[in-house]
Structure 1
């Protein structure tokens, strides 16, 4: 379980982004974080991953206080994070990156399975360099494959649908369903997309730096879908529409 206790974060220029947030994310659940743009979701993800340091409060993973740990130490504890905008690694191939995430060499069959889950043909991509020749959508799918390769206890995906085509998005839904079916930990997705919200076990609505609503999908989702037209908390029905 991941637990946040009175978590706050304030950038150097001032103005709190995360405001005393309390949240518990249980094991064995697919949890979707949603809410208006600018509400604090990506900042929260970076705090959990160790890319930002809380101004105050604590983060616990399986009862251990991981607040003082950096991003590498948290990865060793079992936290994986897929960026909303992935990083390019000039000089590394797709195979290099996936094997680095997995912690060792992988067979072609395993590479094919991992890349196939995100809609990529391993034979076409495994020896390509992670550089400007790859589109944003391709980079996104490769990064998601690296998270799958790690197989960590806590997996966090920041808007995985951004920049990918409809066919690949449909494939990702299947990947998340498969992950949920045999979770040994927690799977958290930041998303506005109705099709991702529809497969969640729990939905957490974050706005203005606090948890506005949290609970089982059956209780939370109908209210989001019935929201007023133009409401920024309402889920989007189209891939890539923000």
Structure 2
């Protein structure tokens, strides 16, 4: 479905180029539900932005269904079926919510789309994206926009960030329902064990490299062990007892 071959990304920090992703080789299969996790600053969002075309990789190739899309623009990748839900959705000044949704859905379906994410259409359609909406509201609106269009691959960047537990559980249910409708591969960037426990496969990214990947049974114990390591280190315990990433 999606294949990354020897992908590298370097970003400028002043006069220096900093390595962000190093030798990423990754295959994503059709209709699988993946969780992408790892320490903060490990390159998870950068990897998503490379796949979406927001960042241009410095080396390596990207293939979708066997077709080389390395040089595709963001728009071309979106047309090919790749969608990305931001961790912090952009708030376009002066853009009404109904006009944002019209980018991916026809006007007759806008009300149903908003209802599907638990928002009352008459309260939101004519509001502007920068009109004091909460983070949770913007997440729902962006999710509505993503779920309204047919996609082959959807990347969700930390859907748990900035929302309460009730909102997160509802957003997660929407993501799962969309995935189960078929013919879509889902990648959720997350630290949340609730999401990790639902994934078909977990990909662990550390310091810009894929440290490991595999089933929940294989990867979750590694993450839990690492969490214990961090706790011991912070509390002055003996962190030599466990292996830390």
Q: TM-score, normalised by structure 2?
A: 0.87
Gaps of 5+ in 1: 233-242
2:109 to 107, 110, 120: 107
Q: CA deviation at 1:3?
A: 0.6
Partner of 1:116: 115
Partner of 1:134: 133
Residues of 2 paired with 1:105 and 1:117: CA distance?
15
Matched residues, number: 228
2:95 to 68, 92, 97: 92
Contact 1:119–1:168 (CA under 8 A) maintained in structure 2: no
Q: CA deviation at 1:133?
A: 1.7
Contact 2:140–2:171 (CA under 8 A) maintained in structure 1: no
Larger Rg: 2
Partner of 1:166: 165
1:129-157 deviation digits (Å, cap 9, x = unpaired): 11142122211221111110112111111
- SS of the equivalent of 2:154 reads strand
Partner of 2:10: 10
Q: CA deviation at 1:69?
A: 0.8
Residues of 1 paired with 2:179 and 2:139: CA distance?
20
- Structure 1 pair 166/217, CA: closer, same or farther in 2 (3 Å)? same
Higher mean Cα deviation, 174-183 or 205-214?
174-183
Contact 1:6–1:57 (CA under 8 A) maintained in structure 2: yes
Partner of 1:183: 182
Residues of 1 paired with 2:115 and 2:196: CA distance?
23
Q: How does 1:226-241 map to 2 (within 5 A)?
A: 226-229=225-228, 231=230
Residues of 1 paired with 2:185 and 2:23: CA distance?
22
1:22 and 2:25 correspond: yes
Residues of 1 paired with 2:31 and 2:88: CA distance?
27
Q: TM-score, normalised by structure 1?
A: 0.88
